[in-house]
Chain A
């Protein structure tokens, strides 16, 4: 039986704003518990929400990037339910009239396969606090309560765990490009729930199961693959899949139905009387569009066409906007694209990792990189020497030209100078020269070694080789 798999994702991203969505408390991760709190985000008697304009801007930036239809008026609503980490025991969210409706995003499945994923909506809401369980007690930290959250819901267009993982990774990349969020699943600035259903091919959607507690895109893939197998088994044996919420168990690598059967929630949504609707006008949208950036997939395509780089190189470059920006700036400064891509992906990345730095934090600038790459490309220094220069650059924060000059690293390329050296070597080792001329090619290595030794390693190997060959030939 060939089952069709339908997967939809519900993604939450915490928006990067200075303050929380409805109050002036710092929007910051990792502080002492209950320090970034105030009467508003603690749901005190007499408080009211006040809408953060930066949260609104960033929401619409995402909605635009996802090609959503914008609601004429975005209306906030109260979603009513009780939970200890909810200060008001209702969440202010959007429901009937969110910021963005519909929307699409292209994802790169590899090998030139592009798939379009549709969205259901994009809406703005507030995050809850955190509850930690200890024996006999639960502890509550409301630092996170009131953090602006953007919820993005896809249509069930994904067809496998692998696809879902790819989508999530590329979505994460895109929202980071926009600068709206850190989208870090380990820190909780991006969270993902999945729903999946199976059905006989062509029969439409099946009975869906929701999966929670997915703490990385890898687990999203694993959980969905597990779930697809589990549901297929149920269907094959003639059963029906129970519509429920299941939690992914990382330790046991399986999903399990939740112990406490959650009562079907009746959220009793109604429009939030404390917040007027938000109608994005042309001026506001123009401001949002000013913040728009070239999205990763588009950038990849453009760079492929402009520089003929391969997928692996491109994926590395566009993985982060700072890398892509850096790359393009370096090319702009004169670095050949292929070489720049190569350096970025290997030696530069190694040093950044070793020193725990980002490109922006490092002493390397696009200009300096262009300089370095060209030194090697133009044969003024060897590749090996280039790596050394890079290392010194990281340590001493100097321009490559300066480093090369200071240390006299420039390869000797002068014909006359090298010819003289070759002749010296010939004079010093006549037997070896004879042996090579007689046919013992391996001894060329020795001669080259001597030439390098005599020049302190700075002979341009290609030129030295050429002169050596010429001299060898000449003596026959």
Chain B
């Protein structure tokens, strides 16, 4: 990775002929000026996104009823995760099919927020099932049910999936 960065940044620039036309210089200066403005607008839009997220959260998922469910893979897992299905109190709330890029992001340690919703305080049921393919090419499908309590604060549930570890189910649930 570092080498590629060097190739892009340093290694290759010195061989290019030094001469450049006035028009090229003009384009380069113009592009550079625009680049500064693009950076500014990116910053602005990020600010808007942050404010919008806060507003959305307040409006759609107030903290006393908020429930967020996250998915990640156990460390070192190399199985291919195809799809995950989440049910809360028997009702299907998420059914997600993974692209290669998303699977790769999960394998690198990323966490996907698969569901955000509202639940009243009290006891609730969570059913998790997922399909995939093991490294040896074998298709598999697993599911398990859990119970959890929703208090007055936002509830965050992290579901860790594994291909072969954690016994037969391969699903672990963590409370954050």
* A and B found bound together: no
Residues on A close to B: CB < 8 A?
A: none
Residues of chain B touching chain A, judged by Cβ–Cβ distance below 8 Å, are none
